[in-house]
Structure 1
Amino acid sequence: MSTTQVTPVSATGAPPAGGNRRPPRVRRPDARGRSAATRRSPGAVVVLIALAVLAVITLLPVLLAALNAVKSPADYVANGPLALPRSFDLTGITSFWQSVDFTGKLLNSVLISGSVAVIAVVLSLLTAYAIGIGRIRGSFGVLAVFMVAFTLPQEALIYPLYVMAKAVGLYDTKLSVIIVLAVLQSAFGTYLLSSVLHTFPAEVLEAARMDGAGTFRVLWSIVMPLTRPTLVVLATFFFIWTWNEFFIPLVLLPSNENQTVSVALGALFGQYTSDPVTSAAAALVGVLPALVFFLVFQRTLMKGVNIGAVK
């Protein structure tokens, strides 16, 4: 006589351990819920459209310069500045490069901009460390002076700077522009970094001092590594600002061998300039180094901005 084996079932309806288990059912996400979660609000769509339009407007001059830089003068006259080039012609770029000795101007701009970025960041860090962490007396007044310093127009400073450069024998030297721009831009860096260092955790500083760390040891081993993203952001801004600087290099660097890219471009776009192809080539070649520098450091720049925002 055959017997039938019955598997016991618990009170919850699940078979006991060791019995035949039914595989659990996997719930699939609801398509409607997923689309509702990823659906953008009308305000976000409007903001994205506005940002896209602004990006196109910003890049349009660069695109026009690139289109006209590779045209021949005959193509430009026949079809105008908005038409696509009929042939790839680099005559305008080579003509501008050779006429202004652009290699020398490029090296001058790289040297001045890089030196200003490094020196201004160092000055900003040292001054902000004294104000934000050292808690010197009258720090509010010192910050007010720095705020006034980076808001003064350059036209109000250029004559005293010209007289001082003449007096100390630095006129028509790249060192004069490096010193002036580094000091001017460090005013903004000091104001920004002092606000960051003012909220620096006091417990970390006290622990370092209890371990025997001195002032410069705390600055080098604790403060600088934690503020490195902000320093990279400042260095990037200082480099781009110095690269685009025109008025101070124009006055303090009159000789051709010391001129920068911005001064060379300003001298080219004169009243009697009649070669639009060469002008477009000059504009394109002048903006490309700063654009490449920004794209190379874009990830680091955004990382520093995000970290600063979180802090």
Structure 2
Amino acid sequence: IGALLNNEKSIKSTTQKLEDAKKELSDKLILGQVKKGSLVYQAQDQAIRLSEGTLKSLEASRDLLIRQFESIVGVPYPDEITDIREPDLSLAMNAEGSTSVASKRIDVQKAKETLALRKAQYTNKNLVVGGNISYTNSETMTNIGPKAQNHLTLGGSAALAGKGFSVQGAVGGTYDFDKGTLTPVVAISGAWSNDPASAKDELEIRQLENEVLLAEIAYNNAVDEHIQSSIEVQNGIASWQLEYALLLQTIRYNEDLLKQQRELFENGLVTKKQVEDAVFTVEQDEYELKALLLKGLQLENEIKRLMI
């Protein structure tokens, strides 16, 4: 639509200039200021022919643009574009609100959770604790007769097993009540195995750590890209707002000038051509305004894309 509006503006401007050039040459011929066939006449006539060629080219471009519009949109191109609203250019710098940034953040969380789970599996240990207590009361025959024997036996054990190793330990003792003696027992054993699977597990963990690092880099890049894009859009918004404010001032000035020219024409102080020129300027301003509003709507769409 923007291209069509600019095309229409160019057609209108070229048509106006062509009509002015033809009238100027005709007036000069009538007043005898130039002669038909003279160098001055030929130069102005050639300029008119060039303008006519430009106008035909613009009209051909318009036909092509209309066909493209109708092919893409699926509806006939309207005779006049009206009611183009002002764009909503409110922009909040919030990278975390972007879908692409949020997706990268989720990737980081998933990578960290996968790494933590694998580390837990690799470093998982099994501890087994046990104990026992027993008391015996027996009677044995001696040379002097039967003799009672009382023994209390205590014991405890623990075993710790992990990936490629195991450690066992046991302590205990027997107390003889008759002799008043304690016989302690201590046993420690362990085993270590250089399991090839352990090296494979360590390699897998390093790979998962690299995946976490890559995910964090991708997340940071997404944040940086979003911030950079936001800055570019903000600059575009500031430029558009300045251009829009200046155009509105120009429109108000040209409308006031047209009103003044009409009043002066009614009093015979300006020519009809001067009024027509003022009307033409106001009409050109309308094209400028529509094209600028469309540019603003494009900025609005860029703001929406930042949050996708």
The TM-score with structure 2 as length reference comes to 0.26
Structure with bigger strand share is 2
Q: Which has the larger radius of gyration?
A: 2
Q: Which has the higher contact order (CA 8 A, sep 6+)?
A: 1
The TM-score with structure 1 as length reference comes to 0.25
Structure with bigger helix share is 1
